[in-house]
Amino acid sequence: MSPDPWETLRRSTRARIGLGRAGDGLPTGELLKFQLAHARARDAVHGQVDFDKLAADLAPLPTIRLKSWAGDRSTYLRRPDLGRKLHPDSAAKLADVPPQPWDLVFVIADGLSAGAVQTHAAPMVKACIERLPGWRIAPIVLGEQARVAFGDDVGEALGAELCLLLVGERPGLSVPDSLGIYMTYRPKRGRRDSERNCLSNIHADGLSYALAADKAAWLAREAVRLRLSGVDLKENAPVTGLSAAEVNNNVLK
C-alpha cells in the first residue's frame, strides 16, 4: 500500500482535506464521518442547556435565570429577533437584584450550541473573574433561548458598566461545541454589533480558557479606561503568564 501524501497535513487541521474517492463518490469511511459531523451539528443547535447543572457548576457564584421572548426552541430558531429581547417577567426578576454600581455583568446565553455552553461557560467565567480582582460583579445571568443582544437588555436593567456575554456559537462540521464571548461597554437596547468586541473559537482544539480569559480581562479593563468597546477598541493584549507550549498548542486547561 502506498503512503497517503495528505496524512501529514491532515494531522494539523480539522478541515476535510484529501479525502480521496471511491468511484464518483467519497470513500465510505469519510462519508460516515461527514454524516456523524452533520448529526452532531444538528444536535448542538437543537440541544437544551441544563441550567440547573450550570448553576451548580458556577457555585458559589450567585446566578439568576432569565428568559427571552422566544418561548421554545422552535420559536427561537425561526425568530432570531425574539431571542434578542428580555421577557418582561424576567425583567421583573432583575428588580430583586440589589441596586449597586456594577462594574460587570456576565450573561450566559445558550445561543446555537448547548454543548459549548454546558462544557465551557462555567470554567470560562471563573477564569475571567480570577483576572479581574476588585471588580463589582453582578449575579451571573443564565439566559434561556437567548442571543447576543439579550445582554443589552440585561446590562441596561442592572445599570452595569460592562457586559460579557458568553454564547454557544453556530456549529460547523468540524466543531460543534465552540464558545464565543461578546463584550459591550454600557450595554443598552439598540447597541450595534460594531460596538462589541468578540472572542471566538473557545473549545478543546481552539482558544484555551487561560488565553481567552487573559484577552477578555485585558479588553474589559481597556473598555472601562477608554469608555468604549467595538471597532474602536483594538485587541492587542500582550500574551503573558502562559508557557510557549500552551500558546502554541492552545490546549484547554
Can you give the three-state secondary structure of 60-106, one letter per residue? CCCEEEEEECCCCHHHHHHCHHHHCCECHHHHHHHCCCCCCCCCEEE
Q: Return the pLDDT at 242.
A: 53
Q: Return the pLDDT at 40.
A: 93
**What is the count of structural domains for the chain?**
1
The residues near 31 (Cβ < 8 Å, ≥ 6 apart) are 25
Q: Determine, yes or no, domain membership for 234.
A: no
CA–CA dist 45, 39 (Å, integer): 10
Q: Determine, yes or no, domain membership for 30.
A: no
Residue 246 known to bind ligand: no
| pTM of this prediction exceeds 0.85 | yes
CA–CA dist 76, 84 (Å, integer): 10
| Domain enclosing residue 193, as ranges | 50-226
Q: Return the pLDDT at 253.
A: 46
Residue 198 known to bind ligand: yes
- Return the SS3 of 56: helix
Instruction: Please give the chain's pLDDT, 253 residues, in tens.
Output: 677 788 888 888 888 888 888 888 888 998 999 999 999 999 999 999 999 999 999 999 999 999 999 999 999 999 999 999 999 999 999 988 988 899 999 999 999 999 999 999 999 999 999 999 999 999 999 999 999 999 999 999 999 999 999 999 999 888 899 999 999 999 999 999 999 999 999 999 899 999 999 999 999 999 999 999 999 998 776 665 554 445 555 444 4
Q: Determine, yes or no, domain membership for 218.
A: yes
Residue 128 known to bind ligand: no
CATH code for the domain in which residue 172 is found:
3.40.50.11240
Q: Determine, yes or no, domain membership for 96.
A: yes
